[in-house]
Amino acid sequence: MIASAEWKSGMQFDGRSESGHTIHFDADPAHTAGPTPMEAVLAALCGCTSVDVVSILQKKRESFTSLVVSAEAQQAPAPPRVFTHIRLIYRVDGKVSKKAMEDAVALSKDKYCSISKMLEKSAAIDFAIEYADEAQGK
């Protein structure tokens, strides 16, 4: 795998992936032109585990209609400001069994999500699962 980052101006950079995609990073304090590299890492974690969970739920033939994974992270106060704690929140909607969802999240965290496995070397990662049907009283 190959990637690069090119300085554009100020604290703005274009990251490029081997597959030809570009991410505009903005490390200025206001972050008006794009995510910081650390925000991108956190979003990548959400994406990585989402891919796993959707794949597992589909293989189990669960009838979910949506999945949103969000993350809240704490960073070390001094450089390098690595993540020290990350909380993932999985919000699923549709008819999905709690066991299937819990199993899918555990498999992602413990076995499949490469980004999670890398980040857990510096950060404690925990999670919560929210079922949209429960919140709607179903």
Q: Residue 123 maps to which CATH number?
A: 3.30.300.20
Range list of β-strands (E), the chain: 3-9, 12-17, 22-26, 63-75, 83-95, 124-131
Q: Are residues 95 and 61 in the same domain?
A: yes
Tell whether 24 and 48 lie within a shared domain: no
Same domain for 22 and 90, yes or no, is no
Note whether 31 and 72 are same-domain residues. Answer: no
Residue 104 CB neighbours (<10 A): 28
Hey, is 9 helix, strand or coil?
Answer: strand
Same domain, 93 and 114: yes
Q: Please report, as a single letter, which amino acid is at residue 40.
A: A
Residues 95, 54: one domain? yes
Distance CA 78, CA 123 (A): 15
Q: Are residues 74 and 130 in the same domain?
A: yes
pLDDT tens string, the chain, 138 residues long: the values are 999 999 999 999 999 999 999 999 999 988 899 999 999 999 999 999 999 999 999 999 999 999 999 999 999 999 999 999 999 999 999 999 999 999 999 999 999 999 999 999 999 999 999 998 765 433
Looking at the fold, whether 105 and 124 belong to one and the same domain comes out as yes
**Is 54 found in the same domain as 74?**
yes
- Do 54 and 46 contact (CB within 8 A), yes or no? no
Q: State the pTM of this model.
A: 0.92
Evaluate the CA torsion angle 111, 116, 119, 122 in order and state its sign: negative
- Domain enclosing residue 22, as ranges: 1-35
